[in-house]
């Protein structure tokens, strides 16, 4: 029997747009899929996995499908303990109807259909890309019950909402060896992301071997660069996972590392050293020199042969123009060409560059600053400064992708990324203009990450971007997303990602030979500062070790998330406050922790600046316990107590050690509730909670989220 569970069908007022959202029946189907498929039709029963699935490949033969099937088999075997290659047991038929393009293209069909019955599974797709996605879905469906592993019976029709679902990794500000790239490509494949944007040149490093201009990597990389063989290896690895690789060589600014070996490219005389600090710097290429275009022609020609994708990213962001202003040759050149501003000069540069790229059969891609020109319409604009840049590009007829809202380096909660939509409901774009919005990319800039910590900044939060870009626009249930992320996030470590497993070793290193647990209690509830706040500490550069509490702490604390959920459900029961143990136990733990942790903090150079946070967590927890006491009593807390509690919580929100205590807002909600119990007489519990949430939000420092 077929059942539609909680099915919600939306017809847009414009008539033609149709989207379907089906939520799982939580009781019978713990739906952990991320991104949520376009259409899910749950069926009765399960496909038991007490023997291994026997695989049959039908349709065309493509190595990618075979390789993906082997990966699937390995992962399933590891998860269920059943050995692959058995000749008994249920079947899985994989029908791939046609070969993919030799070079994966942005418009290739990625859809698939999956049916699971008690006897077996059937996966069909028009193209290997759909097959790969379907296999990931199948793995996400595997569940463990009393009778062992199984897959619930289901029919899924799935396809992406957006064509371009990317992740940028900056391999320059901190070097990222190929193991880092490979394991993140695995994570991307699981999340059905299809573009790896590789940021390969910066002030702080030039990261690719050039045979034509070897001083680029020899002098501009500290020896940390990818050989051409390694680049090819990554491109093959990515293709096997349905992922395109777009290189970015950021010019004309962000180019100090180029000038160490080739100072003649710069708009001011050298010598140059690799930049160690972070920020926007003056060095820029000289757009008035023919030699620069000759060099770029040679370089782009060489790289065009290495990177097969049709797009080539030339950066184009954050040129401060100082070197151009100070160079009389450039000023004369601008006057002669009738170029009035530095933006005009950069537009001239981009036009020359676009011709070079076209000569090498590449389409140009750039950050939204490149839009300031009359470039050909096949240039792709990546919007980072705001969603308006995206709309502007689409209105002018350019294809465009969104990265504003998807900056992982800002250490924001997944909910913020989940809410950022390339085509939000309020978008005023016409259907033609909407067709130019190809998707988006999460961006992992690497000022504050290194190979040890990068996974924990990319995952699991990138799942929010992956779902926003794959699933229908109507998929908006944030709680449901977080529930699924709680299951799929840890599972990503099956692929070799280290976003969770590196946490305790980092804390143990900080704890030295003392008990790590008190440090973990604190680390579990703090988050690194957000929105570029860590730059305010000023000491950071690309050599500075990222080995402090702010580096070990996760951008989004699970414990804080759980505590907030507990506070919310507790306060929804007002005025008959229910079971308190989910609240009291952690508060007691935080309150007591400072005494246990203090000796370690006092003796450690790396931790001594955490002392105020530890003390503040303890004081805030004490206040939280007092708030519960008042709530249980049913009597509003006295004004003097409210004032004292407010002071404690305000102090606990101050910055120390580059971390913020993520449970303070939830404790504040308890405190406000205790002080405002009498308001319940005049308003509904829902409105009361909403009013408390608004006050909590207003009390947060504006940089918090
Ligand atoms: C950028 O963040 N400057 C693209």
SS (H, E, C) 502-556: CHHHHHHHHHCCCCCHHHHHHHHCEEECCCCHHHHHCCCCCCCCCCCHHHHCCCC
Straight-line distance from the first to the last Cα atom of the chain, in angstroms, rounded to the nearest whole number: 46
Residue 634 has pLDDT above 80, yes or no: yes
CB atoms within 10 A of CB 388: 11
Task: Report d(CA 54, CA 56) in Å as an integer.
Answer: 7
Task: Record the tokens describing residue 403, joined without a space.
Answer: 């990265």
Q: Whose CA is nearest to atom 2 of ligand 1?
A: 384
Residue 8 has pLDDT above 50, yes or no: no
Phi, psi of 11 (to 5 degrees): -110, 125
pLDDT for position 57: 92
pLDDT for position 164: 98
Choice among 9-13, 500-504, 537-541 with the minimum mean pLDDT = 9-13
Judge if 262 and 129 occupy the same domain: no
Judge if 120 and 233 occupy the same domain: no
> Whose CA is closest to 475, among 425, 436, 431, 509?
425
Distance (Å) from CA 225 to ligand 1 centroid? 21
Task: Record the tokens describing residue 245, joined without a space.
Answer: 């690789």
Residue 207 has pLDDT above 50, yes or no: yes
Task: Report d(CA 398, CA 435) in Å as an integer.
Answer: 10
Phi, psi of 8 (to 5 degrees): -125, 115
> Whose CA is closest to 413, among 462, 477, 351?
462
> Whose CA is closest to 604, among 496, 507, 534, 675?
507
Q: pLDDT of 459-482, one tens digit each? A: 999 999 999 999 999 999 999 999
Strand partners, 248: 199, 313
Judge if 475 and 489 occupy the same domain: yes
For Cα atoms 252, 253, 258, give the angle at the middle one, nearest 5 degrees: 80
Q: pLDDT of 295-326, one tens digit each? A: 999 999 999 999 999 999 999 999 999 999 99
The answer to whether position 619 is within a domain reads yes
Judge if 572 and 586 occupy the same domain: yes
Residue 226 has pLDDT above 90, yes or no: yes
Judge if 147 and 254 occupy the same domain: no
> Whose CA is closest to 329, among 288, 387, 381?
288
pLDDT for position 538: 67
Dmax (CA) of the chain:
81
Residue 119 has pLDDT above 70, yes or no: yes
Q: What is the mean pLDDT of residues 133-160?
A: 94
* Helix/strand/coil for 247: strand
Question: Which CATH number covers residue 344?
Answer: 3.20.20.80
pLDDT for position 483: 94
Domain count, the chain: 3
pLDDT for position 1: 27
Choice among 11-25, 166-180, 390-404 with the minimum mean pLDDT = 11-25
The answer to whether position 682 is within a domain reads yes
Judge if 191 and 206 occupy the same domain: yes
Last residue of a domain, one of 105, 127, 158: 158
Residue 264 has pLDDT above 70, yes or no: yes
Q: Does the Cβ of 317 fall within 6 Å of ligand 1?
A: yes
pLDDT class of 187 with cuts at 50, 70, 90: very high
**Which of 199, 202, 278, 384 for a ligand 1 pocket mutation test, highest count of atoms within 8 Å of Cβ?**
384
Distance (Å) from CA 216 to ligand 1 centroid? 22
What is the domain extent for residue 134?
2-158
Residue 387 has pLDDT above 90, yes or no: no
Q: Whose CA is nearest to atom 3 of ligand 1?
A: 317
Percent of all residues in the chain with a pLDDT value above 90, rounded to a whole number: 83
Task: Report d(CA 222, CA 213) in Å as an integer.
Answer: 16
Judge if 40 and 93 occupy the same domain: yes
Report whether 437 contacts 394 (CB < 8 A).
Answer: yes
String of b and e for 248-263 (b: at least 16 CB within 10 Å)?
bbbbbbbbbbbbbbbe
Judge if 519 and 427 occupy the same domain: no
Report whether 209 contacts 226 (CB < 8 A).
Answer: yes
Strand partners, 113: 124, 157
Report whether 73 contacts 139 (CB < 8 A).
Answer: no
Task: Report d(CA 480, CA 26) in Å as an integer.
Answer: 10
**DSSP for residue 471:** S
Strand partners, 58: 95
pLDDT for position 147: 85
Ligand 1 atom closest to the CA of 317, numbered from 1 = 3
**DSSP for residue 152:** E
Residue 24 has pLDDT above 70, yes or no: no
The answer to whether position 498 is within a domain reads no
pLDDT for position 12: 31
The answer to whether position 308 is within a domain reads yes
Q: How high does pLDDT run on average in the chain?
A: 92
> Whose CA is closest to 453, among 513, 520, 505?
505
Residue 25 has pLDDT above 60, yes or no: no
Last residue of a domain, one of 434, 462, 493: 493
Question: Which CATH number covers residue 17?
Answer: 3.30.379.10
**DSSP for residue 437:** E
The answer to whether position 195 is within a domain reads yes
**Higher per-residue confidence, 292 vs 73:** 292
Structure pTM? 0.94
Whether omega before 271 lies within 30 degrees of 0, making that bond cis, reads yes
pLDDT for position 6: 29
pLDDT for position 9: 29
Last residue of a domain, one of 493, 515, 547: 493
pLDDT for position 13: 30
Q: What is the mean pLDDT of residues 590-603?
A: 97
> Whose CA is closest to 624, among 650, 587, 569?
587
Q: Does the Cβ of 318 fall within 6 Å of ligand 1?
A: yes
**Higher per-residue confidence, 86 vs 107:** 107
Q: What is the mean pLDDT of residues 559-577?
A: 91
Q: Does the Cβ of 384 fall within 6 Å of ligand 1?
A: yes
Percent of all residues in the chain with a pLDDT value above 70, rounded to a whole number: 95
Judge if 112 and 215 occupy the same domain: no
**Higher per-residue confidence, 20 vs 640:** 640
């Amino acid at each position: 029997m077929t059942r539609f569970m909680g099915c919600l069908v939306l017809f847009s007022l414009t008539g033609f747009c149709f989207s379907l959202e089906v939520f799982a029946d939580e009781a019978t189907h713990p739906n952990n899929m991320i991104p949520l498929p376009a259409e899910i039709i749950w069926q009765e029963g399960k496909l038991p996995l007490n023997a291994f699935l026997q695989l049959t490949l039908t349709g065309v033969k493509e190595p990618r499908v075979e390789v993906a099937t082997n990966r699937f088999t390995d992962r399933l075997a590891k998860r269920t303990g059943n050995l692959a290659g058995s000749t008994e047991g249920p079947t899985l038929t994989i029908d791939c109807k046609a070969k993919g393009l030799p070079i994966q293209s942005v418009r290739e069909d990625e859809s698939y259909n999956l049916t699971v019955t008690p006897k077996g599974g059937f996966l069909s797709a028009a193209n290997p890309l759909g097959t790969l996605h379907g296999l990931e879905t199948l793995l996400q469906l595997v569940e463990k019950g009393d009778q062992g592993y199984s897959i619930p019976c289901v029919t899924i029709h799935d396809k992406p909402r957006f064509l371009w679902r990317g992740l940028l990794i900056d391999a320059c500000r901190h070097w990222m060896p190929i193991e880092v790239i490979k394991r993140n490509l695995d994570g991307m494949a699981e999340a059905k992301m299809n573009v790896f944007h590789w940021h390969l040149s910066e002030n702080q490093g030039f990261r690719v071997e050039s045979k034509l201009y070897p001083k680029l990597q020899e002098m501009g990389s500290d020896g940390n660069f990818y050989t051409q063989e390694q680049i090819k290896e990554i491109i093959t690895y990515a293709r096997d996972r349905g992922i395109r690789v777009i290189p970015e060589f950021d010019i004309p600014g962000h180019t100090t590392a180029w000038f160490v070996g080739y100072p003649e490219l710069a708009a001011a005389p050298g010598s140059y050293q690799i930049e160690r600090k972070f920020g926007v710097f003056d060095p820029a290429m000289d757009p008035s020199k023919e030699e620069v275009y000759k060099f770029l022609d040679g370089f782009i020609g060489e790289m065009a042969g290495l990177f097969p994708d049709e797009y080539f990213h030339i950066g184009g962001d954050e040129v401060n123009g100082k070197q151009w202003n100070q160079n009389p040759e450039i000023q004369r050149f601008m006057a002669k060409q009738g170029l009035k501003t530095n933006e005009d000069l950069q537009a001239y540069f981009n036009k020359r560059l676009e011709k070079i790229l076209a000569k090498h059969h590449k389409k140009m891609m750039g950050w939204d600053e490149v839009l300031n020109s009359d470039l050909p319409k096949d240039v792709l604009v990546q919007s980072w400064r705001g969603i308006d840049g995206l709309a502007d590009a689409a209105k002018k007829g350019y294809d465009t992708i969104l990265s504003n809202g998807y900056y992982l380096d800002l250490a924001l909660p997944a909910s913020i990324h989940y809410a950022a939509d390339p085509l939000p409901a309020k978008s005023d774009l016409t259907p033609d203009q909407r067709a130019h919005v190809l998707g988006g990319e999460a961006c992992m800039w690497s000022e504050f990450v290194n190979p040890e910590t990068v996974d924990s900044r990319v995952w699991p939060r990138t799942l929010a971007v992956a779902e926003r870009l794959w699933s229908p626009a109507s998929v908006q249930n944030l709680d449901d997303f977080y529930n699924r992320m709680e299951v799929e996030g840890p599972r990503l470590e099956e692929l070799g990602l280290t976003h969770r497993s590196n946490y305790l070793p980092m804390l143990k290193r900080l704890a030295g030979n003392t008990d790590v647990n008190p440090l973990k209690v604190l680390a579990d509830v703090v988050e690194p500062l957000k929105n570029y706040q860590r730059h305010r500490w000023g000491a950071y550069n690309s050599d500075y070790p990222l080995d402090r509490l702010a580096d070990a702490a996760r951008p989004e604390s699970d414990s804080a998330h759980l505590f907030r959920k507990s506070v919310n459900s507790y306060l929804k029961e007002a005025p008959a406050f229910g079971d308190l143990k989910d609240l009291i136990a952690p508060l007691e733990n935080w309150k007591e922790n400072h005494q246990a942790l203090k000796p370690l903090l006092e003796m450690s150079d790396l931790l001594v600046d955490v002392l105020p946070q530890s003390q503040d967590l303890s004081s805030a927890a004490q206040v939280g316990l007092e708030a519960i006491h008042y709530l249980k009593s049913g009597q509003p807390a006295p004004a003097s107590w409210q004032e004292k509690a407010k002071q404690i919580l305000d102090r606990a929100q101050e910055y120390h050690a580059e971390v913020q205590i993520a449970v303070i807002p939830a404790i504040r909600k308890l405190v406000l509730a205790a002080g405002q119990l009498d308001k319940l007489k005049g308003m509904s519990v829902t409105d009361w909670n909403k009013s408390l949430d608004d006050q909590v939000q207003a009390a947060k420092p504006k940089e918090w989220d």
